[in-house]
């Protein structure tokens, strides 16, 4: 193999390693969402009981004027999100209520909704279509649920 081919092969391998490191490098919550914090206009939350004997769920909308808004965003951004390899598996529901969040943001005078955030207490946290791992994941997710339960929730019965 000539020197030129070895150099080209080395460059290809180096580029592949750099791309893999970028794809799986830990990131902040806002980077995982793809939305800068300053553009977030509201967060809509649904708490769905795992043992749903009530046949309903709790709904919450947090805006920047609400005291829990900054607390929630600070808590979500308090950990580094490590991307996980995609895999198909059934999630374990380890929290008393699963948490669905949709983050709304403003860009160019228009309001958009980002991909959702899904917490079940299981190790992966779903942000959009990707799973992330955070340190002490179950306790972290329980902390998010506890913070949300402290807000003024609206009960919506299933029809």
Tell me the domain boundaries of the chain.
27-157
What CATH number does domain 27-157 carry, 2.30.29, 3.40.50, 2.60.40, 1.10.3470?
2.60.40
Note the pLDDT tens digit of each residue in 91-149.
Answer: 666 788 889 999 999 999 999 998 789 888 877 888 887 888 888 888 899 999 999 99
pTM attached to this predicted model:
0.81
The total of other beta-carbon atoms located within 10 Å of residue 44's CB is 15
Model confidence over 6-57: pLDDT tens digits? 888 888 887 777 776 666 678 899 988 888 999 999 999 998 887 766 677 8
């Amino acid at each position: 193999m000539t020197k030129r081919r070895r150099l080209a092969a080395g460059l290809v391998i180096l580029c592949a390693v750099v791309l893999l490191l970028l794809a799986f490098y830990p990131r902040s919550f806002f980077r995982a969402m793809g939305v800068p914090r300053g553009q977030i206009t509201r967060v809509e939350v649904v708490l769905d009981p795992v043992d749903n004997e009530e046949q309903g769920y709790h709904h919450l909308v947090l805006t920047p004027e609400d005291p829990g808004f900054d607390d929630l965003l600070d808590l979500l951004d308090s950990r580094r999100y490590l991307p996980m390899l995609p895999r198909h598996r059934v999630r374990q529901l380890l929290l008393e209520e699963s948490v669905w969040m949709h983050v709304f943001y403003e860009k160019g005078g228009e309001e958009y909704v980002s991909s959702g955030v899904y917490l079940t207490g299981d190790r992966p946290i779903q942000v959009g279509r990707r799973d992330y791992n955070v340190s002490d994941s179950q306790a972290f997710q329980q902390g998010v649920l506890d913070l949300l339960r402290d807000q003024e929730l609206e009960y919506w019965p299933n029809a």
